[in-house]
């Protein structure tokens, strides 16, 4: 059934997605398993966007589908399996300059909050210096940069370069997410990690805190 859910997300079939989700909930499927299937479907949509098969409008559609699913299932339930280990650490989150997409960022924000982090969300189309200023103001140790558009990869790099210019790059960990996130991009911009999965992203950030404590 979860494979059917992945395919329905990929095909942007909202009616089918909601029907399958309802069946999964009724069958007692673990919230985390539903979440992972949804995330996998989102990844496939992102891949279709990257190849030009899907448009920005299609990304907006999948965002609406996600919001409706989360509303039906109750977002808190989706995050029940995430361990709360962050002890109130503050994370700074935002979509980089030139990109107005926020569905993936919003999902990740909810997962991070469920994981025990305090999240300062700067919103979308955020300038590089604004990330630096906010990181200093809120004493953030982890920075999350989101982008969907490939044209905005350079904006991610500009943010990281701004942290270097401010002399505080070594004081923060930077994770990137969104359709553009992969190892090649992560290496190019100089990020510490990348993720296309909200839950995996939380695990990465919690792992950094554990390393810090050891």
Write out pLDDT tens, residues 122-150: 999 999 999 999 999 999 999 999 998 88
Cα separation of 181 and 176, whole Å? 6
Dump pLDDT digits (tens) for 50-81: 788 988 788 778 878 877 887 776 644 555 55
Element (H, E) at 178: none
Residue 58 belongs to what domain range? Answer: 2-78
Crossing angle of the two packed helices 198-213 and 103-114, in degrees rounded to 10: 40
Residue 21, domain member (yes or no): yes
Q: Say which CATH number the domain at 156 has.
A: 3.40.50.280
Which domain-ending residue is among 53, 78, 103? 78
The tally of CA atoms less than 13 A away on the side-chain side of residue 65 is: 27
Task: State the residue for tokens 């059934």.
Answer: 1
* Main-chain phi, psi angles of 210, to 5 degrees: -65, -45
Determine, yes or no, domain membership for 139. Answer: yes
Query: CATH code at 61?
Result: 1.10.1240.10
Q: What share of the chain has pLDDT > 90, as a percent?
A: 48
Question: Could you tell me what percent of the chain has a pLDDT over 70?
Answer: 91
Domains in the chain, number: 2
Same domain? For 65 and 100 the reply is no
Is 87's pLDDT higher than 80? no
- pTM metric for this prediction: 0.74
pLDDT of residue 88: 66
């Amino acid at each position: 059934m979860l494979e059917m859910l992945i395919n329905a997300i990929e095909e942007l079939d909202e009616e089918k997605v909601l029907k399958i989700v309802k069946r999964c909930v009724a069958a007692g499927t673990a919230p985390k398993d539903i979440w992972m299937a949804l995330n996998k479907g989102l990844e496939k949509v992102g891949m279709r966007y990257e190849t030009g098969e899907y448009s920005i409008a299609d990304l907006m559609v999948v965002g609406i589908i996600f919001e409706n699913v989360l509303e039906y299932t109750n977002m808190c339930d989706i995050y029940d399996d995430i361990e709360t280990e962050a002890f109130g650490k503050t994370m700074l989150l935002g979509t980089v300059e030139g990109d107005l997409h926020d569905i993936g960022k919003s999902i990740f924000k909810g997962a991070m909050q469920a994981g025990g982090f305090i999240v300062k969300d700067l919103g979308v189309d955020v300038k590089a210096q604004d990330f630096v200023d906010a990181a200093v103001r809120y004493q953030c140790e982890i920075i999350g940069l989101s982008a969907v558009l490939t044209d905005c990869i350079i904006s991610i790099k500009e943010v990281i370069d701004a942290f270097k210019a401010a002399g505080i790059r070594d004081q923060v960990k930077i994770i990137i997410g969104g359709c553009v996130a992969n190892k090649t991009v992560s290496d190019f911009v100089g990020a510490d990690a990348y993720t296309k999965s909200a839950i995996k992203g939380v695990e990465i950030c919690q792992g950094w805190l554990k390393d810090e404590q050891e």
